[in-house]
Amino acid sequence: MAATTQDRAGAKAEFDAFLAACPSRQLLGRLSDKWVALVLAALGDTLRQPGCDEPADARPMRYSELSRRLVGVSQKMLTQTLRALERDGLITRTVTPTVPVTVTYELTDLGRSLHGVMIGLKDWAEVHMGEVLANRDRYDAAAS
């Protein structure tokens, strides 16, 4: 997944996010979004529920299911994020003409390739939260 070494050795990407004009800089900005991380995490996480330990394969999720999982997300942000991810080809949107309509979202292969990174980010935040909190206290105390 994190093929950092390989990338430099083999076919070097012609994109460089360190450069302001590079499209990858803009893409990085797009991916660096709380809701993007959470949506991607949620969509890939469905089968990793308590009880089941194997990642298996992701189950599509409905709009309402996502909005319930991402506690506090506004429908505007959720829709906006989903649209952007769909446009970039990270997720698919499937409309089933039931009454009322059913819409499901699912990771594409491309989205799955990013899922690991996003889970890594989310997990890092959860695992190191305590340490970060302690660091903040120390920093703020020093500035007394």
Summarize as ranges the residues that interact with a copy of itself (CB under 8 A): 1-5, 7-9, 13, 15-20, 23-25, 27-29, 31-34, 36-38, 41-42, 48, 53, 69-72, 86-89, 110, 113-114, 116-117, 119-136, 138-140
Instruction: Give the shortest CB-94-to-a copy of itself separation in angstroms.
Output: 15
Minimum CB distance to DNA smaller for 75 or for 135: 75
- Residue 102 binds which one of DNA, a copy of itself, none, with CB within 5 to 8 A depending on kind? DNA
75 in contact with DNA (CB under 7 A): yes
Closest CA to 17 of 1, 37, 32, 3: 32
Judged by CB under 7 A, which of 83, 128, 136, 138 binds DNA?
A: 83
What DSSP letter does each residue of 82-118 carry, written as one string?
HHHHHHTTSEEEEEE--SS-EEEEEE-HHHHHHHHHH
Angstrom CA distances, 5 to 1, 11, 23, 85, 92, stand at 11, 11, 22, 27, 31
